[in-house]
């Protein structure tokens, strides 16, 4: 069974492959802090940004499987929402299993499943509204999340578990919802148009440059108010669970943490900058790979079964952690560029073979089958195509 090339957009699959391989690097390499004046640290660009691109592509994929530039009819959307909800449940379960392995990886799939649920009422919202909402959330959520976390923390269990997913985890869904809305808006555009891809690259580069340069320009203000640089990004200064009665207190140093742009900090500058980079990556892939060809087939195949590739790499790292011990520096002996190259090469090679032979990744096939059967029939698939990508 061959991949149906008429229903896939090559650039989207390639961008998804690059995002997954970037997460490989973030999980395997010992990355230093990014310093623009030191080219040796440029590999740290994958830190946070590859996961953000993966999240933006979740929105793009949801938009594409529900009609792309022509959203489905209300009747079709009922079935589409049902299938998306089932997919979300399957991905949530899969993410929980991978998290139980106890690897050093911050598994993104649990939060990823929440993005599917968040998308359910937004499938007919026009792109302009989605882009506006994403921009507003990028500013508002980083400010709302810390006091909200303090309030939920005072309630205690079982709300703490929900807080970890929506607010306090490595991928706080309330903040990352901005990436979903951005992706949904992009997926409603004509992604096969070179003009759309060029605008995506231009706007993305402009947004990223403005966010990071403005954040850097505000460093003197941070130094003036807090010379010892004690401030932390929002994810670091939540009220502790063991003292809920103390409530939530913000100091000037805490507020200055919102001016930073470090990866995974969840500040407005981080969200805007990371979103801009993801637009550059996706738009660049659309421009460079407008149509399927033999040379881009390996990456297209990897991107088309990204869920399987991601899951298998978590299991592989679990196996490596089980047979090796951390060194005195706290790193594993296999954390080097050679391991990443092996992981990337094996993932690309197996994906190329698997897609050519079977047409769809095993996890993608399983989840699609469950979603379709739950809705009654394969003919009700919202994609109208024999395969889909989560």
Q: Which residues contact 70 (CB under 8 A, 6 or more apart)?
A: none
The pLDDT assigned to 22 comes to: 93
Q: How far apart are the first and last CA of the chain?
A: 19
Task: Looking at mean pLDDT, say which of 88-97, 221-230, 322-331, 374-383 comes out highest.
Answer: 88-97
Better pLDDT: 372 or 167? 372
C-alpha distances in Å from residue 328, one per residue of 88, 200, 322, 332: 40, 45, 17, 9
pLDDT digits (tens, 9 = 90+) for 123-155: 989 999 999 999 999 999 888 887 777 776 656
Global confidence as pTM: 0.86
Q: Is the pLDDT of residue 346 over 70?
A: yes
pLDDT digits (tens, 9 = 90+) for 9-27: 999 999 999 999 999 998 9
Chain-centroid distance of CA 70 in Å reads 25
The pLDDT assigned to 165 comes to: 77
pLDDT digits (tens, 9 = 90+) for 147-178: 777 776 656 555 566 777 787 777 888 899 99
Q: Cα(318)–Cα(281) distance, rounded to whole angstroms?
A: 29
pLDDT digits (tens, 9 = 90+) for 265-306: 888 999 999 999 999 999 999 999 999 999 999 999 999 999
Kindly state the average pLDDT of the residues 80-95. 94
Torsion of CA 116, 134, 286, 109, to 10 degrees: -30
Angle, to 10 degrees, between the axis of helix 362-374 and the axis of helix 337-358? 50
């Amino acid at each position: 069974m061959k991949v149906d090339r008429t229903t896939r957009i090559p650039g989207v699959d390639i961008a998804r492959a690059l995002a997954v391989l970037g997460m490989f690097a973030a999980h395997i390499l010992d990355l230093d802090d990014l310093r623009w004046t030191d080219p040796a640290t440029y590999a740290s660009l994958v830190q946070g940004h590859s996961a953000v691109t993966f999240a933006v592509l979740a929105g793009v994929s949801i938009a594409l499987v529900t009609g792309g530039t022509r959203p489905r009819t209300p009747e079709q959307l009922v079935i589409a929402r049902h299938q998306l909800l089932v997919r979300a449940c399957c991905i949530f379960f899969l993410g929980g299993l991978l998290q139980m392995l106890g690897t050093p990886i911050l598994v993104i799939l649990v939060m990823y499943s929440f993005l599917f649920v968040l998308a359910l009422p937004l499938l007919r919202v026009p792109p302009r509204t989605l882009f506006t909402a994403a921009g507003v959330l990028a500013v508002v959520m980083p400010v709302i999340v810390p006091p909200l976390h303090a309030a939920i923390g005072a309630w205690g269990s079982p709300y703490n578990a929900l807080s970890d997913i929506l607010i306090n985890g490595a991928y706080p869904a309330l903040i990352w919802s901005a990436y979903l809305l951005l992706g949904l808006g992009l997926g409603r555009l004509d992604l096969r148009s070179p003009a759309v891809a060029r605008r995506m690259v231009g706007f993305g580069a402009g947004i990223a440059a403005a966010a990071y340069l403005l954040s850097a320009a505000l460093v003197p203000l941070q130094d003036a108010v807090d010379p010892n640089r004690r401030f932390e990004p929002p994810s670091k200064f939540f009220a502790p669970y063991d003292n809920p009665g103390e409530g939530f207190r913000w100091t000037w140093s805490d507020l200055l943490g919102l001016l930073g742009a470090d990866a995974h900090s969840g500040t407005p500058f981080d969200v805007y900058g990371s979103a801009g980079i993801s637009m550059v990556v996706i738009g660049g892939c659309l421009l460079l790979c407008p149509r399927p060809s033999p040379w881009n087939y390996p990456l297209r195949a990897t991107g088309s079964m990204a869920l399987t590739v991601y899951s298998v790499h978590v299991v592989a790292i679990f196996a490596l952690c089980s047979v090796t011990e951390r060194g005195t520096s706290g790193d594993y002996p296999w954390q080097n560029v050679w391991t990443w190259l092996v992981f990337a090469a094996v993932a690309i090679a197996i994906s190329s073979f698997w897609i050519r032979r079977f047409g769809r990744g095993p996890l993608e096939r399983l989840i699609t089958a469950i979603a379709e059967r739950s809705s009654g029939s394969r003919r009700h698939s919202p994609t109208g195509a024999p395969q889909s990508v989560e």
